[in-house]
Amino acid sequence: MPRKKPEPIQVIKQRRDAALHALAGGVPYIQYLGIQFDRRGDELTAVLPFADQLIGNPMLPAIHGGVTAAFLEVTALISLSWSYLWDDIETGVLEVETLEEGRLPRLPKTIDFTVDYLRSGLPRDAYARARITRSGRRYASVQAEAWQDNRDRPMAQATAHFLMPRPKS
C-alpha cells in the first residue's frame, strides 16, 4: 500500500500557529504583560519585551519580581497546554477553525508555583522556556527558567504543579 502523501508544510504551519495563537493570544493577562511565543517545531520560547510598567524597583531599575513570577507561570502553563494538545493539533482532532474562533478545550490549572530569584531582572527583554518533567493523567510537574542576555545566567527558575483537565466521559 502506498504511503500517505505528507501534508503541505503551509497547512501544518498554519494549524500549529493557529493553535498557539489561540492558546496564548486569547488570554488578556498574557497580552497585558506583552508576552509572545516563538515556535520552532514543538519547542516554545516565551518572550517578554521590556516595558516601563514592568518595573518593580525604580532605583535600580529592575523588573518586578511578580512580573518575573507571572512570566514563568505563563510559560509553564502554555508549554504544558501546548504539549497536552500537540497530538490533537497534529492529527486535526482540534480543527483550525475552532481554534481560530478562540474556542479552546479545557486547560490545566495551577496547584502551586515556586519561584527562585537568581539575579535581578534588568530593564531589557527576557526569555523563558519550560520543561515538562512529568505529565500524568491527573497531575503534571513543570520546570521553567528565565534569562535575559545570557542563556547560562538565568534570572529566575520555577517549579510548578498543575491539575490536568478531566477528559470528557
Interacting span for other proteins (CB under 8 A) from 12-20, 26-34, 88-96, 138-146:
26-34
Task: State the cell numbers at 150.
Answer: 545570557
| Radius of gyration for the chain, computed over Cα atoms and rounded to the nearest angstrom | 17
In the complex, the smallest distance separating the C-beta of residue 102 from other proteins, rounded to whole angstroms, is: 7
**26 touching other proteins, by CB under 8 A:** yes
In the complex, the smallest distance separating the C-beta of residue 62 from other proteins, rounded to whole angstroms, is: 8
Question: How far, in Å, CA of 41 to CA of 71, rounded?
Answer: 22
**Binder among 14, 32, 92, 133 for other proteins (CB under 8 A):** 32
**50 touching other proteins, by CB under 8 A:** no
What's the distance, Cα to Cα, between the start and end of the chain in Å? 36
In the complex, the smallest distance separating the C-beta of residue 67 from other proteins, rounded to whole angstroms, is: 6
**48 touching other proteins, by CB under 8 A:** no
Closest CA to 107 of 94, 125, 122, 124: 94
Question: How far, in Å, CA of 19 to CA of 51, rounded?
Answer: 27
Task: State the cell numbers at 82.
Answer: 501546548
Task: State the cell numbers at 131.
Answer: 520543561
Letters for 86-125 (x = contact with other proteins by CB under 8 A, - = none) are: ----------------x------xxxxxxxxx--x-----
**34 touching other proteins, by CB under 8 A:** no
In the complex, the smallest distance separating the C-beta of residue 63 from other proteins, rounded to whole angstroms, is: 8
Question: How far, in Å, CA of 121 to CA of 71, rounded?
Answer: 12
Letters for 68-87 (x = contact with other proteins by CB under 8 A, - = none) are: -xxx-xx-------------
The C-alpha cell 509572545 sits at 36
